[in-house]
Amino acid sequence: MKTLKPIILSLALIMLSCGDNEKKEQHSDTAEIPVSREMIAELTSPPNVPTPVGRRKAKKLIVNMEILEEEGELTDGVKYVYWTFGGSVPGSFIRTRVGDEVEFTLSNHPDNKLPHNIDLHAVSGPGGGAESSFVAPGHEKTFSFKTLNPGLYVYHCATAPVGMHIANGMYGLILVEPEGGLPQVDKEYYIMQGDFYTKGKNGERGLQPFDMQKAVDENADYVVFNGSVGALTGDNAITAKVGETVRLYVGNGGPNLVSSFHVIGEIFDKVHVEGGDLINENVQTTLIPAGGAAIVEFKVDVPGTFILVDHSIFRAFNKGALGMLKVEGEEQKKIYSGEIREGIYLPEGPGIQNMPTTNEIVESEIPAKSFEEQMEFGKQIYMQTCFACHQAEGQGIPNAFPPLAKSDYLNADVDRAIGVVINGLSGEITVNGAKYNSVMTKQMISSDDVANVLTYVYNSWGNSKKVVTKKMVDDVKKK
């Protein structure tokens, strides 16, 4: 056995050496790919991507990118000064192929306040280009590199403090396609996650500066796709048709958080793990590290709105990491039936004190005798039945459940509010200028409890201080 150990070690060293030699030969071969003529790179803002390279030959690819520091909207009423590559967060998508010689010019707009540079993870060279691209406002730098490895790569600013520059939006993706290009698909989109840290808490209006301590503590106020809450929802949603194949180029700028990327109601047919050659199939959720990327592909089989999320799920529904893919086309009942029937199910729950033996709602055993008791009992009901959707301070959940705090919808019509509690509500409504389209089921609570909880809501969080009585609730029930 002792004599075998040197032999095994020698074989291992030979195999490692062979692997290194193969890699060197591969890079050498790629480096020697000749370029034919020049072409100006097509750069696109998210969620769009440039035209596929197809079977074009390697070229001298001219990339001109401008750095802009400009104010934008992080979410409704919340302003933020983004630092951008190409005027968008994430920055412009760059599409190349193996063997391209990229001549990269980075321009720092004269109105900017800070120097910047760029580190492209697709570059084999010091700092990924950062050492050659450090540029002051009003200047530009040019450097070149050869694309040696196919894959999907992140680029970002690497000027100190590096984390601050990335956290302010300075990241994007560069795709290096293999020779002959990627297989053709019907739709391609560019999505990139980032975490943001502001002096004010989530939703606090006005111009919010960057908070370094929150960033160090990795305590993000917002986690978003494509630079802002709602960047991929509503009219900004990406689209496809039933039967089409969709390819998403998904990056994670960070600077801190790992993404658990998932499309609710879809399964990824293929995932290029971490943007490289390894392909995983039939994947539900894929991990994308900060400073990493993945290519996901899937065929859309049925129509509907499919929700894109970071499945660290509070980030999606509370901090903004949520997007939409809207698919049009014919229903495919064999694949998904939709709702077949609706029945009644009344288990013992927060709003029911005892298991009912009839369809009648159990009345409160201790009716409130004063405003103070209404507020006390109302708060108890609120925390049992309303808290999950509308939150402790009535702030609601952006893009999901409307706020009750200072709610114009609530304060405009008390009878309507009573009706919503006892009958439920579905369909689109507008609250404080924002549209919501979710479902509130009817609440199986007594008239006393409806009066108490609405009195608590109306007398909290800057609302109109109305007092709701049992008689008012009963009157609405009779209509």
Residue-level pLDDT at 364: 52
CA distance 471 to 447: 8
Q: Where are the alpha helices (DSSP H) in 394-468?
A: 408-412, 414-423, 447-458
Residue 116: active-site member: yes
Amino acid in position 477: K
Residue 285: active-site member: yes
Please pick, among 65, 157, 192, 440, the residue that the annotation labels catalytic.
157
Q: Which residue in the block uniquely carries the two structure tokens 């450097």? A: 143
Residue-level pLDDT at 162: 97
Residue 198: active-site member: no
Q: Is residue 310 a contact partner of residue 321, using CB atoms and an 8 Å limit?
A: yes
Half-sphere exposure of 118 (CA within 13 A, CB side): 34
* Helices 371-385 and 447-458: angle between axes, nearest 10 degrees: 100
Please pick, among 211, 285, 301, 375, the residue that the annotation labels catalytic.
285
Please pick, among 281, 408, 474, 475, the residue that the annotation labels catalytic.
281
Residue-level pLDDT at 25: 56
Residue 469's alpha-carbon distances to 196, 353, 463, in angstroms, are: 45, 21, 17
Which residues touch 58 (CB under 8 Å, ≥6 apart)? 33, 34, 35, 36, 97, 98, 99, 100, 101
Q: Is residue 187 a contact partner of residue 212, using CB atoms and an 8 Å limit?
A: no
Residue 27: active-site member: no
For residue 240, which of 187, 194, 166 has the smallest C-alpha distance? Answer: 187
Residue-level pLDDT at 59: 96
Residue-level pLDDT at 317: 87
Residue-level pLDDT at 286: 98
Please pick, among 103, 274, 311, 389, the residue that the annotation labels catalytic.
311
Please pick, among 170, 324, 440, 472, the residue that the annotation labels catalytic.
170
Q: Which residue in the block uniquely carries the two structure tokens 């200047």? A: 139
CA distance 317 to 364: 34
Residue 121: active-site member: yes
> CATH classification of 371-478 is 1.10.760.10, yes or no?
yes
Residue-level pLDDT at 155: 98
Residue-level pLDDT at 285: 98
What is the CATH code of the structural domain delimited by 38-328?
Answer: 2.60.40.420
Residue 305: active-site member: no
Residue-level pLDDT at 341: 72
Please pick, among 101, 119, 188, 448, the residue that the annotation labels catalytic.
119
The residues spanned by each domain of the chain are: 38-328, 371-478
Three-state secondary-structure class, residue 278 = coil
Annotated binding-site residues for Cu cation read 116, 121, 156-157, 165, 170, 311
Residue 413: active-site member: no
Residue 474: active-site member: no
CA distance 276 to 266: 22
* pTM for this prediction: 0.74
List phi, psi (to 5°) of 291: 80, 20
Residue-level pLDDT at 354: 39
Please pick, among 69, 116, 286, 448, the residue that the annotation labels catalytic.
116
Annotated binding-site residues read 116, 121, 156-157, 165, 170, 311
Under DSSP, the state recorded for 30 is H
Q: Is residue 454 a contact partner of residue 418, using CB atoms and an 8 Å limit?
A: yes
Domain 38-328 matches domain 371-478 at the CATH topology level:
no
For the chain, 479 residues long, give each residue's pLDDT as a single digit of tens: 455 555 555 555 555 555 555 555 556 678 788 888 999 999 999 999 999 999 999 999 999 999 999 999 999 889 999 999 999 999 999 999 999 999 999 999 999 999 999 999 999 999 999 999 999 999 999 999 999 999 999 999 999 999 999 999 999 999 999 999 999 999 999 999 999 999 999 889 999 999 999 999 999 999 999 999 999 998 999 999 999 999 999 999 999 999 999 999 999 999 999 999 999 999 999 999 999 999 999 999 999 999 999 999 999 988 999 999 999 999 999 999 887 776 655 554 444 443 344 444 445 556 888 999 999 999 988 887 887 788 888 998 877 889 999 999 999 999 999 999 998 888 889 999 998 887 787 787 899 999 999 999 999 999 999 999 999 999 999 98
Please pick, among 165, 192, 272, 448, the residue that the annotation labels catalytic.
165
Q: How far is CA 300 from the centre of its chain?
A: 20
Residue 390: active-site member: no
